[in-house]
Each structure stands twice: as C-alpha cells, then as structure tokens.
Structure 1
Amino acid sequence: MTRRAFSFVRSFPPEPARELCVDRHYLLCASAGVLRLEAQGQVWLLPPARAALIEAHRPIRVSIPRPVTTASVLFDPDFAPRPPAPLTVFDLSPLARALVAECRAWDEDGEALPTYAATLFAALAAVCWRLAERPSPCVVPAGRSPELRRALHITEQRLATDIRFEDVAREVGLVPRSLARRFEAETGLTWRAVLRRLRVLHAIEELTDSELSVTNIAFASGYTSLSAFNTAFRDLTGRTPTEFRASFCP
C-alpha cells in the first residue's frame, strides 16, 4: 500500500542531465551536495539551504555535478493542493527543515498514515507552499536557440578567466550585436548580467561542497576583489557568502 504522503533519503553519484517526472507533488531537498534543475527555459541550483517544489506530472531535467544526498517528500495530489507554480526553488525555513526531518520516519510503503504523521505532512505542505510564494532569485536562463545555449556553456566554462563577450560571439558564429539581441530576446538579461549570475551560482556550489575560503572561492568565480564578490553575492541572494555558508553548515 502506497501512502498518500511519504519521505525518503537517498545518495547519488554525479550524473548527467536526465528527465524527472512523477505523479505526485514533489518536495526535493539536497541535504548534502548540489543539484541542478532545468525547466521552463531556466536553470536553478539546489544547495542544502534550499528546496524545490515540483508539481505532479511536470517534467524537469535534473543533473548532479557532484555527489549529493537528497531528502524527498512526495504528496498525493488529493492530499496537498496544487503548488503555486510548476517548479519553484525557495529557501527552507528552520521550521520547514525540522518538519522534513520529522517526516523521514514514514516511507512509501505501509499502512495508512497515523494521525500524528498525517498532521506533520499537512503542516510541511502548508509551510512549503507558503515559502514557494517567495521563490529564490538565484536562477539563470537556459536559452532556447543552439547559439545561445552554446554561448551560455562557453561563459560558464570560463568564469575564472577574463572572458570577453566578443570572443564568445565569435565562437558561436554570431557578431556581437546579434548575440546581444539573442540574450535580450531569450533571457531578458544582458550577457553581463548573466555572467554575474553564473559567477554567483558557481560560488554557491563551492560554498556548499568545498572547504575553500570565501576569498579563494571569489577568485575561482572570476572576481578580483572580495568586496565586489560580496556585493554581487548579497545582491542576488540577500546574504553575504559567509552568512550563506553558515545557513546550512553545522
């Protein structure tokens, strides 16, 4: 017998992107490591400080750049209401984390949930559905055209270098003006704004899954000034890098 709501914890090695689609509303949390999620032309990072809420029957692409341990909670559509969006990534509150941990006692198979467990899962859904109304701004566009996707890939691979927009345009076979128009049309952002976000997302991965100092992470993400790195990180996440790391480190 499959319960109307259940939880499980699993560990995964690095994996390339694959499609994920389940018949239940899916609350996905990385308790260690980082996941990458892609849907609706956008890419999110999912470090331990955040959760993803995925609507039932909504396909997304998931990749695992480094080993990861996930805590997942699945809700039957008759148990929890439809999420506010097909896919939302948001910061976990201390209450939500405590509820996720408490719900781990009930896995997929077994008798109907006891009243206490059903109340816990209902409370977790209420809290996370409310948190999902304030999605994380740490998202970058995936791009629709092959040229833009290639430009994004090149940019991400060279974050630590003095990368030039003109060089990226040449490598994808477009003049800079044409590539700039692609960025505006497909992402609503300039290449410079996308570069800034990619550098912050790279820093999030390193803060989550390495013991490098904040200064070394800043340099590895392409910043030559720690103050500039702190400002860019705080502007996008609302926290300094040190505060962000402290939010999920014991």
Structure 2
Amino acid sequence: MTRQAYSFVRTLPPEPDRDLCVDRHYLLCASAGALRLEVQGQVWVLPPARAALIEAERLIRVSIPRPVTTASVLFDTAFTPPPPAPLTVFDLSPLARALLTECAAWGESDEPLAAYAETLFAALAAVTWRLAEQPSPVVVPAGRSPELRRALQLTEQRLGGELRFEDLAGEVGLTPRSLARRFEAEAGMTWRAVLRRLRVLRAIEELAADDTPVTTIAFTTGYASLSAFNAAFRDLTGRTPTEYRASFRP
C-alpha cells in the first residue's frame, strides 16, 4: 500500500501540451522555470514560489515552454478533503514553503508514514488548502470555439508587435463584431482585457526564466514604456515586476 502522502522532485525539459490526470490530490510547485496549466477553459501560469492544487482524477493540460524543476506532493483522497476547486494557483506562504521542504524527506514507498511525517503532511495540506481559497488572478481564458482559440493563439504570438483587432478578426474568419461577441461569451471579457492578461502572463514566464532586465521584458511583451508595464503588472498581481521576481527567491 502506497503511503497516504509522499513528495518528489523532478526536472523536466520543454514539452508541448500534454494531458495529465492522477488518482490523488496533487500539490505542484515550480522551484525553477514555469509551467502552464489548463482546465475548464482557463489557463494559469505557475512560476517559482507559487503552487497549484489539483483535484484527484481531474484532467488538466500541462505545457512546459522552458526547462522547469518541480517539487510535488501527492495526497491520498482519504487523507485530505477535496480541494476548494478543480485547479487553483496561489502564492506559497513562508510556512507552506518550510513544510514543503520538510516533507521532501518522504518519497513514494510501501512503508507507512511515521507519526511525525504524517503530522507534517497533514499540516502542509491544511495550510495549502487554506491558501488555495485565495487563487492567483493571473488567469486567462483558453476559449471553446476554434475561432476564439485561434484568436488567442495569434494574439499571444504577436504580443511584442503591431496587433489590430480588425486584422485578427479577418484572420480567424469573423467580422470584428462577431469576434468581439465571442470574447464576451467565451472569455467573459473584452479582447483588450485578455491582451493585457496575456502580456502579464508572458512577463511572469520571462521573469522566472532568467535575469533579463525588466525594461527588456516590458518592451518584448508589447509595452511602450516601463511605467505602463509596471502599472499594468501591479494592477493584476499586486506587485511590481521586480517585487514579483524577488518573491521567486526567498
């Protein structure tokens, strides 16, 4: 019988989209690099110092744009209650980080957990389940229809260049009015709002990847000035890009 909870660390190369489904509740943390996670028509980015809590038996789509190192914990469904949502991404608190580090000593095994280890995993679950009640706002829609998914793909490919909504509509075979309605119906927001979130999502991935200057990231994600980039980033995440990057390295 496999332990009620166990931890493991993996380093993964870049990978295209793939489906993932496990029979346990899954706490997934990136310690270096970033992943993208998609479920129920929404996409989250998972950089360092953040965690994703994924419900058991929940099919999610994972993509790895660059090499990433992850630290994960799997909880038996009888050991913890269900997570508050199928998938949530949230900031790790100092306590959660310390518990995650301590739990790393217990990997997959047929031997039962000692009382001390069981207490640690239970504490980690209690803390992260509570943190998951306040998910990250950095989420973007994935789209349901082929036209909207294509529009989102083209938008993301051209974040740093000239991008006109009218041209985008023509490329996906819709009138601007029809495409605008698709965004409202499937994404629940305008194309401009989605564009803003995609820029912040890309910026988070760039901040996690290396030490590229923040000014360079601002321009490559489509902002004409550092002040505009900082304002948009802070409005969505509550921090400046520099503060956000600093949180990756506690």
1:11 corresponds in structure 2 to 11
- Structure 1 CA distance for aligned equivalents of residues 239 and 110 of structure 2: 42
Q: 4+ residue stretches of structure 1 with deviation over 4 A?
A: none
Normalising by structure 1, report the TM-score.
0.99
How far off is 1:94 after superposition?
Answer: 1.0
Give 3-state SS (helix, strand or coil) of 2:105's partner: coil
Q: Distance in 1 between matches of 2:34 and 2:233?
A: 18
Matches within 5 A, 1:218-237: 218-237=218-237
Q: Does structure 1 retain, via aligned residues, the 8 Å contact 2:15–2:64?
A: yes
1:42 aligns with 2:52: no
Q: Distance in 2 between matches of 1:163 and 1:44?
A: 23
RMSD of equivalent CA atoms: 0.8
| Corresponding residue number in structure 2 for 1:135 | 135
What is the CA distance between 1:211 and its match in structure 2? 1.3
**How far apart in 2 are the matches of 1:31 and 1:83?**
22
Structure 2 gaps, min length 5: none
Give the distance between the partners of 2:166 and 2:103, measured in 1 at CA: 51
Give the Cα separation in 2 of the matches to 1:249 and 1:211: 12
Q: Is the 8 A contact 2:49 2:249 kept in 1?
A: no
* Superposed CA offset, 1:37-57 (max 9, x none): 000100000001210000111
Question: Match of 1:104?
Answer: 104
TM-score, length of structure 2 as denominator length: 0.99
Secondary structure, counterpart of 2:163 in structure 1: coil
Q: Give the deviation of 1:162 after TM superposition.
A: 2.1
Instruction: Kindly tell me the number of residue pairs found equivalent between the two proteins.
Output: 250
Which residue does 2:240 correspond to in 1? 240
1-side partners of 2:242 and 2:235: how far apart? 14
Work out the CA distance in 2 between the residues paired with 1:40 and 1:83: 16
Cα separation, 1, equivalents of 2:206 and 2:242: 12
Q: Give the unaligned 5+ runs of structure 1.
A: none
In 2, Cα distance between equivalents of 1:97 and 1:168 = 43
CA distance in 1, matches of 2:110, 2:145: 47
Separation in 2 of the partners of 1:211 and 1:163? 27
Superposed counterparts of 1:1-250, under 5 Å: 1-249=1-249
